[in-house]
Amino acid sequence: YVAKKNHSGFVVYSQKLDQHSPHRLTLMGELRQAIDRDELVLHYQPKINVKTAMVSGVEALVRWNHGVHGLMPPDDFIPLAERTGLIKPLTLWVLNHALQQCAVWQEQGLKLDISVNVSANGLMDLDLPDTVAGLLASHEVAPERLVLEITESAIMLDKDRAMQVLTSLAGMGIRLSIDDFGTGYSSLAYLSKMPVKEIKIDKSFVMDMEKNSSNAMIVHATIDLGHNLGLEVIGEGVESKEIMAKLKGLGCDVVQGFHFTKPLAEAQFSEWLSKSIN
């Protein structure tokens, strides 16, 4: 923890600022072990096809089952992993377990696409396409089943390198999705050249679109833009049936959000799925 004086002269403590604070070092070491010891867990949130009202796939979202802190949300350790090189083994862990689960569903006759988040430094990894190819082969999952969600800012970190990685992933038949769309600073001209298949409108625009007219306009425009570029458009952060109805009216292709369910551990997800429309 570091002590800093803010503008009014008060001392405030921040655990975020100091890269070398004992807290961070401990957590980093623990995360390394957690990956090795399978103390991470994936939760799954369904994606619903608006036209068919069927569950078309799931997004895998990682949590850390920490001995002391309990179930930790990804925002508490992904940024740390990003800055320390742990993101590579973490991404590998997530991909491996997500594809393993996808294979299990496949055996049960469930055709579910699986979406996995790949953050900035994960995307800069030139080995990623080979790694993914190896995992798909060993789990016997078709590349078309896998969606990799990337952010605009990750692409803009190093455009050439991102393009190289994304081109080989797309060439293998893997679907690429731009996550948190609308929150980055990327150029649309550049994005239209990327081999992506879908965009996910950031939940900050969707969540309050029924009462925030400028957000509603952004959502409307983004859906039209996506469709004009030949992309599938996903709305995330759908928390009510009113928002669901609005997105349906605007022609949004796929929806995801607490209105259907929050992300669930595998057993709870199976239970939810058996009670749902599929």
Q: Where does this chain bind Ca ion (CB under 5 A)?
A: 117, 149, 179-180
CA distance 2 to 15: 6
200 CA to centre of own chain: 10
Question: Please, what's the b/e burial string for 81-103 (b: 16 or more CB within 10 A of its CB; e: otherwise)?
Answer: bbebebbbebbbbbbebbbebbb
Of 56, 101, 117, 222, which one interacts with ligand C2E (CB under 6 A)?
A: 117
Q: How far is the CB of 76 from ligand C2E (least distance, A)?
A: 9
Question: Rule CB under 6 A: is residue 239 a binding residue for ligand C2E?
Answer: yes
Site string for ligand C2E, 44-83 (x = CB under 6 A): -x---------------xx----------xxx--x-----
CA distance 128 to 121: 11
Whichever of 194 and 234 has its CB closer to ligand C2E, that residue is 234
Of 180, 198, 232, 253, which one interacts with ligand C2E (CB under 6 A)?
A: 180
Q: How many C-beta atoms surround the C-beta of residue 190 within 10 A?
A: 13
Q: How far is the CB of 241 from ligand C2E (least distance, A)?
A: 12
Among Ca ion, ligand C2E, none, partner that 238 touches (CB below 5 to 8 angstroms by kind)? ligand C2E
Determine the residue with CB nearest ligand C2E. Answer: 257
CA distance 264 to 272: 9
Of 57, 129, 235, 263, which one interacts with ligand C2E (CB under 6 A)?
A: 263
CB within 8 Å of 146: residues ≥ 6 apart: 99, 102, 113, 114, 115, 116, 132, 136, 174, 175
Tokens, residue 7: 């503008």
**Cα angle 142, 90, 119; round to 5:** 80
Q: How far is the CB of 87 from Ca ion (least distance, A)?
A: 14
Whichever of 182 and 263 has its CB closer to ligand C2E, that residue is 263
| Region 76-115 residues binding ligand C2E, contact defined as CB under 6 A | 78, 94
CB 216 within 8 A of CB 249: no
Question: Rule CB under 6 A: is residue 237 a binding residue for ligand C2E?
Answer: yes
Q: How far is the CB of 239 from ligand C2E (least distance, A)?
A: 4
Q: How far is the CB of 12 from ligand C2E (least distance, A)?
A: 25
Tokens, residue 23: 């807290």
Whichever of 10 and 28 has its CB closer to ligand C2E, that residue is 28
The one-letter amino acid at 78: I
Question: Rule CB under 6 A: is residue 246 a binding residue for ligand C2E?
Answer: no
Q: How many C-beta atoms surround the C-beta of residue 11 within 10 A?
A: 8
Residues that bind ligand C2E (CB under 6 A): 45, 61-62, 73-75, 78, 94, 117-119, 122, 149, 179-180, 203, 207, 236-239, 256-258, 263
